[in-house]
Structure 1
C-alpha cells in the first residue's frame, strides 16, 4: 500500500452548524487529530444550512458538515445553482427528535416508553391526527431545518403514519436548528423535527415533548455528511484523504472510553461551538436511547440513501439520474484514504 502524500492545502476552513453531530470536526480540531495529519483547520460556525451551502458552493469553505440530502440536491441544482458536491464520509447517524408543544403532545408516550406509543411512532402520529381532526383550524405549524433534509422527510413520514397529508393538513416551515426551542416556547410553531441537542433541551425546559425520533423512523440512517465540491476533491486528493483519516481517528477515539466522551462534551460546550446549548447534557450522549446518536459507521454507502433519493424524486417530481446519486455518495475517496498506510 502507498504512503500518504502531504496535503496540498494544509490550512483549511470547514463549516459547521451547532449540533451534536458536528462533534467529529470539533473534536478532531480540539483533540489534535487534524494536526496529526498535517492539517490546520479553522471551523466556521453557521446558524443556517442555506448559508453553509452557499459558502461551500462559492469556495469560501473548503468543506462542510452537510445534511445528508444536500450533496445530491446541490448537484441537481435543486438547492441553489448546480454545483457538483461529494459526500465522502458520514459524520453522524440518527440524532433527530420530533417535538410537539405541550398542547399537542398532552398524554402522548415518550419514545421507548413501555406503552405502545413509546415503541411504535405510528401510535403518537395517529393520536396527533385525531387531535387535529377534533380541534380543527388553524393548521399546526411544524418546523424542519431545511427543505432538503432528513428532518423534513422524517416529519412527512411520521405524519403519513397518522394518515395525514403533510401538504394539506399542516403548515411546514424551515427554521435554523438553534431557533427551534425559542420559537416553540413563544408559540410561533407547534412542533419541530431537529437534531440534538435542541430536542432534549426543549424537553428539559418543559417547552416541548419528544414524541418520536429519527432513530425510530429511519434506524441508523446517515444524518450528516462531510461535503466537498467535486472540483475541490479533484484538486486536493491528498488533503481530502488526510481529512478523512483524521475524522476516522476521531471517531475511534470517541468510542474507546466514557472519559473521552465527557472530554468531547466539554469541547462542544466551548463558546465558538455549542456553548450554553450543552448545559443540560453531562456528557456526549452517544448510542443512548431513544435518540441513538451515532458517530460511527463513517463509510458512505449508496444503498443507504434510497429513502433520501425517493423523497427527493417526489419533491422535485422528476426521476433522478442514477449516476449522479452514485457519484455523490460513492465510498471511493473514503476507501482510498483509509487503505493508505500512515507515515
Structure 2
C-alpha cells in the first residue's frame, strides 16, 4: 500500500517525546532544534537520548522505547526488510546529512605502507595492497566499520576493491560503535576504520591515525543520516511528526543563516550530553570543506530523495540476492518517500 501522509492537525498529539542519536557531528540538527528552541516553538518537549551503538538505537526504535532517532541512511530499509532482526516497517521522512565519512589507517600502518590521502582514493588502497603483497607474513589488518548495513561498511569495501583488495580475504572487518574507534586505534585493537565525523579528524588530530580517503571521494554527496520513525508511529502521530520536521527545517535554516550560528552549534555539540570533548579540535561546525565535504544544512538537503538512495540500496540488494531474496522496490520507495516532509512544509 502506497504511503500517504495524514493532513497534520494544528496541535501535536504528543507533547513529550524522546529521540535517539549517536554522538556524531551529523546529529547537529536535532541538537540545534532542542538548544535553540525550535522544538518548543512547535509545541514539542523533546528529550535527546545519547546511544552508543547503532544496534541498540535500532532495537529501541523498533520496541517503541524511542519515538524516533538519528539513523544511518540504509537503516530504515534494512529494518523494514528484516535484515538482522524481525521486520519493522520504518520510514525516513527527512534527511539529516550528506557525506562526512573518513577512512583512516593507523599512523604505524601508514608509515609502513606509505598509504596517504591524495586526489585518487585508489592510490592509498593500492599502497596498502602492495605492502600486504610484499609482507605475506604480516598480520591481516583489522578494520572497523560502524554497522553491517551502513555507508561506512559499503565505502570501506569499495575503497579496498579499488586497491585490488577483497574485504573478505585480505582484511578482517569488525563492527564498532563510533565513539570507540579512536581509542581502539590508539590501543592497537584495530588498524583502521571508516566512520563519520568527528572521529576521523580526531584520530588525525591526536596523532594515532591518518586519513587515507574520504566518503566524498568515493560517493560524492550521498545521503548519510536520516530521521527514522516506525510506520506505526508516523500513522499514529502525524501532527507530531509534522511538527518535528518543521523544527528540523527551522534548525537547518538557522545554521545556514550566519557563520556565528555554526560556531554556536559547535559549542552545543561540545556539551557533555552530546559529543563532549570529541569536537574540541574543531574550530566551528564543518561547512563542506575538503576532503570530507560534509553537508549538514541548507538547500534541498532535508527533503528525502528516493533516487539518491539507489546507490546505497545496491549493497542491500546484493546481500538479499545472496540470501535468495529480492529487494522490494515498493518498500524502498515507501521508506524514503518525501510525502511526510512535503505535507509538513505545506501546512
**TM-score > 0.5, shorter chain as reference:** yes
RMSD value, Cα: 1.2
Distance (whole Å) between structure 2 residues aligned to residue 3 and residue 79 of structure 1: 34
Which residues in structure 2 correspond to 1:273-284 (within 5 Å)? 273-284=274-285
2:61 pairs with one of 56, 59, 65: 56
Give CA deviations for 1:200-258 in whole Å, capped at 9, x if unaligned: 00000000000111111111111111000000000011110110011011011101111
Give 1:111-150 correspondences, 5 Å limit: 118-136=118-136, 137-150=138-151
The question of whether the paired residues in 2 share the 8 Å contact of 1:122 and 1:162 is answered with yes
For residues 204 and 34 of structure 1, do their structure 2 counterparts lie closer, same or farther at Cα, with a shift above 3 Å needed? same
1:15 counterpart SS class: strand
The answer on 1:239 being equivalent to 2:240 is yes
| Partner residue in 1 for 2:99 | 94
Structure 1 residue 5 corresponds to structure 2 residue 7:
no
Instruction: Tell me, in whole angstroms, the C-alpha distance in 2 between the residues paired with 1:46 and 1:266.
Output: 20
- Separation in structure 2 between the aligned mates of residue 219 and residue 147 of structure 1, nearest angstrom: 21
Residue 115 of structure 1: aligned partner: none
Q: How does 1:195-210 map to 2 (within 5 A)?
A: 195-210=196-211
Alignment-derived partner of residue 24 in structure 2: 19
Please state if 1:321 is matched with 2:328. Answer: yes
* Structure 1 residue 315, shift from structure 2 partner: 2.1
Secondary structure (helix, strand or coil) at the match of 1:34 reads helix
| 1:333 aligned residue | 340
Question: Are the equivalent residues in 2 in contact too, given 1:104–1:131 (CA < 8 A)?
Answer: no
1:72 aligns with 2:72: no
Aligned residues: 332
1:105: which partner in 2?
Answer: 110
The alpha carbon displacement at 1:153 in A equals: 0.2
**Deviation larger for 72-81 or 3-12:** 3-12
The answer on whether the counterparts of 1:85 and 1:328 sit within 8 Å (CA) in structure 2 is yes
C-alpha distance in structure 2 between counterparts of 1:319 and 1:332, whole Å: 25
Q: Deviations over 1:39-75 (max 9, x none)?
A: 1100000000011000000000000001111101100
- State how far apart, in whole Å, the 1-side matches of 2:334 and 2:81 are: 12
After superposition, residues 36-55 of structure 1 pair within 5 angstroms as: 36-55=41-60
Does the 8 Å contact 1:96/1:214 carry over to 2? yes
Q: What does residue 113 of structure 1 align with?
A: none
Structure 1 residue matching 2:168: 3-state secondary structure: coil
**Conserved in 2, the CA contact under 8 Å of 1:143 and 1:191?**
yes
133-142 vs 77-86, which moves further: 133-142
Point out where structure 2 has 5 or more consecutive residues left out of the alignment.
1-6
**How far has the Cα of 1:3 moved from its partner?**
8.1
Give the corresponding residue for 2:194: 193
1-structure distance, mates of 2:109, 2:29: 35
Deviations, residues 73-120 of structure 1 (Å, cap 9, x unaligned): 10011031110000011111111100001222223333xxxxxxx111
Instruction: Give the distance between the partners of 1:153 and 1:233, measured in 2 at CA.
Output: 29
TM-aligned CA distance change 1:330 to 1:3, over 3 Å: closer
Aligned to 2:4: none
Unpaired runs of 5+ in structure 1?
Answer: 111-117
